[in-house]
Amino acid sequence: MPANHTLLEELKERGFIYQTTNLDGLPKMLNDKASISGYGGFDCTARSLHVGNLMLIMLLRILQKHSIRPIIIIGGATSKIGDPSGRDTAREVLSDEVLQENMAGIRKSLEKFLNFGTGPDEALLLNNEDWLNNVKYIDLLRDYGALFSVNKMLSFEKVKLRLQKEQNLSFLEFNYPILQAYDFLQLFKKYNCAFQFGGSDQWGNIVFGVDLIKKVMGKEAFGITTPLLTTSSGAKMGKSQKGALWLNENMLSSYDYYQFWRNTDDRDVFRFMKIYTDLPLAQIKEYEKDDHKNINEFKKILGYEATKLCHGEEEASLALEAAAKMFEQGDAAHLPEFHIDKTRVEAEVCICEILKEAGLAESKGEAKRLIKGGGAKLNNTSIADENHKLTLEDFSAGYATISSGKKKHIRLLLTPSCR
């Protein structure tokens, strides 16, 4: 990428920008980037972030590359309420202990992609509990209540949908946009944080923050949302047959992470390269000229580069090598492992149960349909009978392999009986 390529140009070309509060005013603000910062936030609803969060993380990574400090808010306080964005029901209220565990896991996810520290462009991780826990309700109403319009809240798409469906929207959730706007105001005051970034479902919340800063400080802040990203097949980004594509290795192996990207739809390969890798735009544009003649090689590049960012170069190389050995040479040594108690095999457990438990099918019914369609294999041999039982003979090599289709494979290992 040319040295004079601006942050805004890169974000546009890579596909990160969907909506902005004042696109014309952004370039002027960005010229003063040495003294500003921008932020995005994550609620503490899980022990790891996942691929669905990755677009925002990569945006913050680009921000840091352009010497603008990224601030990440972990919503220790707002997680106790739950953002109603994109949901039909309220979120489960989590205990303080669970929130602390989740915060530690989220920091681990973020450290894979961002450099944290005290320098002017090093990432800063904050917990909104630090200021929201000290806010007095009467003071909040007195100082800011009159600045928020209920009419505007009711015009938000996420609120309108809940009301149209006659689904309950609690007063607790209704406070969420106010608290998020208050977060933005605190960051603007203390860290000169001029930007808030979020998914398209956060547009209303972000606009509230921009408006609040204007009314309280008399200054302009900016909001930028990323597009709702789905695959070309229409699937929600970050989901797989096994569930969420977690970023932390204790919740998803580097091999499975690589395989997710390696199996990208042909139509999405170059789009995902722009968003989810550090590959220069000029290099990706050269790949695009190939007109899909070498699309499988480009899928490998996407898988390797995405895995390298999340799991490191060594793990990415191992995943690439393991996939090549399995699919090109039939070597199962590096496949993801699933352990089964030896006594279950001795009792001749049904293969459908294992397909489900190992994540190769979502249910026994799906496992049976997979077998009927010829898509399930045991030790590289198609399973013909949906009631097929595993036996100890299947483990003559010291393990057994089970496959779902051409791309999903596991190595099945016996766990010694404890009896």
Q: What is the pLDDT of residue 405?
A: 73
Helix, coil or strand: residue 39: strand
Q: 1 with 10: CB under 8 angstroms?
A: yes
Radius of gyration of the chain (CA): 24
Distance, CA of 17 to chain centre:
17
Quickly count: other Cβ atoms within 10 Å of residue 397's Cβ: 10
CATH of 253-329, one of 2.40.110.10, 3.40.50.300, 3.40.190.10, 1.10.240.10: 1.10.240.10
For range 243-249, the mean pLDDT: 87
DSSP conformation class of 46: S
7-14 vs 281-288: helix crossing angle, rounded to 10: 30
> Would you list the domain boundaries of the chain?
7-226, 253-329, 337-415
* Contact of 260 with 304, CB cutoff 8 Å: no
pLDDT digits (tens, 9 = 90+) for 272-327: 999 999 999 999 999 999 877 889 999 999 999 999 999 999 999 998 888 877 66
> Torsion over CA of 286, 288, 292 and 293, rounded to 10 degrees?
-10
CA separation for the pair 412, 395 (Å, rounded): 8
SS3 readout for 197-213? EEEHHHHHHHHHHHHHH
Predicted pLDDT of residue 2: 38
Phi and psi for 141 in degrees, rounded to 5?
Answer: -65, -45
Helix (H) or strand (E) holding 193: strand 193-199
Model pLDDT for residues 343-360, shown as the tens digit of each residue: 887 778 888 888 888 878
Query: What is the rounded CA–CA span in Å between residue 192 and residue 68?
Result: 11
Task: Give residue for tokens 């022990």.
Answer: 47
Superfamily of domain 7-226: HUPs (3.40.50.620)
User: φ, ψ for residue 299 (rounded to 5)?
Assistant: -65, -40
Distance CA 81, CA 108 (A): 23
Residue type at 11 in one-letter notation = L
pTM for the complete prediction? 0.78
Name the 3-class secondary structure at 401. strand
- Enter the tokens of residue 18: 């969907």
CA atoms within 13 A on the CB side of 350: 11
Of the pLDDT bands very low, low, confident and very high (cuts 50, 70, 90), residue 232 is confident
Q: Which residues pair with 377 in a beta bridge?
A: 382, 403
The two structure tokens encoding residue 14: 């890579």
Q: What DSSP character marks residue 236?
A: B
Q: Tell me which amino acid residue 370 is.
A: L
Q: Is the pLDDT of residue 251 over 50?
A: yes
Burial class (CB in 10 A: 0-12, 13-18, 19+), 205: buried
Alpha-carbon gap, residue 418 to 343, rounded angstroms = 9
Multiple choice CATH, 337-415, 3.10.290.10, 3.90.1150.10, 3.10.450.40, 3.40.710.10: 3.10.290.10
Provide the pLDDT for residue 3: 38
DSSP 347: T
- Alpha carbon distance 161, 88 (integer Å): 9
Query: Which of the residue ranges 19-23, 180-184, 258-262, 289-293 would you say has the lowest mean pLDDT?
Result: 289-293
Which residues, including other chains, have CB under 8 Å from residue 290's CB and lie 6 or more apart?
298
Q: Which among 207, 224, 223 is positioned nearest to 215, based on CA atoms?
A: 207
Q: Which of 13-27, 72-86, 107-121, 343-357 shows the lowest mean pLDDT across its residues?
A: 72-86
Q: Which residue has the tokens 């289709």?
A: 405
On the question of pLDDT at 330 being above 60, the answer is: no
Residues 207 and 204: their CA atoms lie apart, in Å, by: 5
Distance set, CA 127 to CA 42, 64, 106, 145, 171 (Å): 10, 20, 12, 23, 23
**Residue 327's pLDDT is what?**
62
Over residues 94-153, the pLDDT tens digits come to 778 888 899 899 999 999 999 999 888 899 999 998 998 888 989 988 998 889 888 888
- Fold match between domain 253-329 and domain 337-415: no
Give percent of the chain above pLDDT 70.
89
CA-CA distance, 235 to 13, in Å (whole number)?
23
Contact 377, 371 (CB under 8 A): no
Closest CA to 70 of 80, 60, 85, 62: 60
